[in-house]
Amino acid sequence: MAGSPSRAVGRRLQLPLLCFFLQGATAVLFAVFVRYNHKTDAALWHRGNHSNADNEFYFRYPSFQDVHAMVFVGFGFLMVFLQRYGFSSVGFTFLLAAFALQWSTLVQGFLHSFHSGHIHVGVESMINADFCAGAVLISFGAVLGKTGPAQLLLMALLEVVLFGINEFVLLHLLGVRDAGGSMTIHTFGAYFGLVLSRVLYRPQLEKSKHRQGSVYHSDLFAMIGTIFLWIFWPSFNSALTALGAGQHRTALNTYYSLAASTLGTFALSALVGEDGRLDMVHIQNAALAGGVVVGTSSEMMLTPFGALAAGFLAGTVSTLGYKFFTPILESKFKVQDTCGVHNLHGMPGVLGALLGVLVAGLATHEAYGDGLESVFPLIAEGQRSATSQAMHQLFGLLVTLMFASVGGGLGGLLLKLPFLDSPLDSQCYEDQVHWQVPGDHEDEAQRPLRVEEADTQA
How many residues contact a copy of itself, by CB under 8 A? Answer: 165
211 binds a copy of itself (CB under 8 A): yes
Chain positions 70 to 89 lying near a copy of itself, rule: CB under 8 A, are 72-73, 76-77, 80, 83-84, 86-87
Q: Which of 113, 388, 405, 427 binds a copy of itself (CB under 8 A)?
A: 427
Residues in the chain: 458
Q: Which CB sits closer to a copy of itself, 53 or 332?
A: 53
Q: Which of 144, 190, 344, 433 binds a copy of itself (CB under 8 A)?
A: 433
52 binds a copy of itself (CB under 8 A): yes
339 binds a copy of itself (CB under 8 A): no
Q: What mask, x for binding a copy of itself by CB under 8 A, covers residues 354 to 383?
A: ------------xxxxxxx-xx--------
3-state secondary structure 16-79: HHHHHHHHHHHHHHHHHHEEECCCCCCCCCCCCCCCHHHHHHHHHHHHHHHHHHHHHHHHHHHH
With contact defined as beta carbons under 8 Å apart, do 77 and 224 qualify?
Answer: yes
Q: Which stretch binds a copy of itself (CB under 8 A): 62-70, 190-198, 352-360, 406-414?
A: 62-70
251 binds a copy of itself (CB under 8 A): yes
Pairing of strands 114-115, 118-121: antiparallel
AA identity, residue 403: F
Q: Which stretch binds a copy of itself (CB under 8 A): 16-24, 168-176, 187-195, 346-354?
A: 16-24
Spell out the residues 6+ positions from residue 365 whose beta carbon is closer than 8 angstroms to its own: 372
Q: Which of 9, 398, 402, 406 binds a copy of itself (CB under 8 A)?
A: 9
286 binds a copy of itself (CB under 8 A): no
Q: Which CB sits closer to a copy of itself, 277 or 332?
A: 277
Q: Which of 158, 240, 268, 350 binds a copy of itself (CB under 8 A)?
A: 268
Q: How far is the CB of 327 from a copy of itself (least distance, A)?
A: 16
By C-alpha distance, which of 295, 11, 249, 287 is closest to 134? 295
Q: Which CB sits closer to a copy of itself, 399 or 428?
A: 428
Mapping DSSP to helix (H, G, I), strand (E, B) and coil, where does residue 115 land? strand
Task: Measure the CA angle with vertex 373, ends 352 and 110; round to 5°.
Answer: 70
By C-alpha distance, which of 125, 143, 133, 2 is closest to 64? 125
Q: How far is the CB of 421 from a copy of itself (least distance, A)?
A: 9
Q: How far is the CB of 104 from a copy of itself (least distance, A)?
A: 11
Task: Output the CA torsion 294→184→159→436 (10° steps).
Answer: -20
Mapping DSSP to helix (H, G, I), strand (E, B) and coil, where does residue 271 land? helix
Beta bridge partners of 121: 36
With contact defined as beta carbons under 8 Å apart, do 288 and 347 qualify?
Answer: no
Chain positions 93 to 112 lying near a copy of itself, rule: CB under 8 A, are 94-95, 98-99, 101-102
Q: Which stretch binds a copy of itself (CB under 8 A): 48-56, 324-332, 353-361, 391-399?
A: 48-56
Sign of the C-alpha dihedral computed for residues 358, 359, 360 and 366 taken in this order: positive
Q: Which CB sits closer to a copy of itself, 172 or 365?
A: 365
Mapping DSSP to helix (H, G, I), strand (E, B) and coil, where does residue 204 land? coil
Q: Which of 185, 279, 392, 403 binds a copy of itself (CB under 8 A)?
A: 279
Q: Which CB sits closer to a copy of itself, 25 or 165?
A: 25
By C-alpha distance, which of 177, 186, 166 is closest to 75? 186
Chain positions 212 to 241 lying near a copy of itself, rule: CB under 8 A, are 213-217, 219-221, 223-224, 227-228, 230-232, 234-235
Sheet bearing 118-121, strands edge to edge:
34-36, 118-121, 114-115
Chain positions 112 to 171 lying near a copy of itself, rule: CB under 8 A, are 121-123, 126, 149
442 binds a copy of itself (CB under 8 A): yes
22 binds a copy of itself (CB under 8 A): yes
CA distance 72 to 78: 10
255 binds a copy of itself (CB under 8 A): yes
203 binds a copy of itself (CB under 8 A): no
Mapping DSSP to helix (H, G, I), strand (E, B) and coil, where does residue 4 land? coil
Q: How far is the CB of 401 from a copy of itself (least distance, A)?
A: 29
AA identity, residue 383: Q
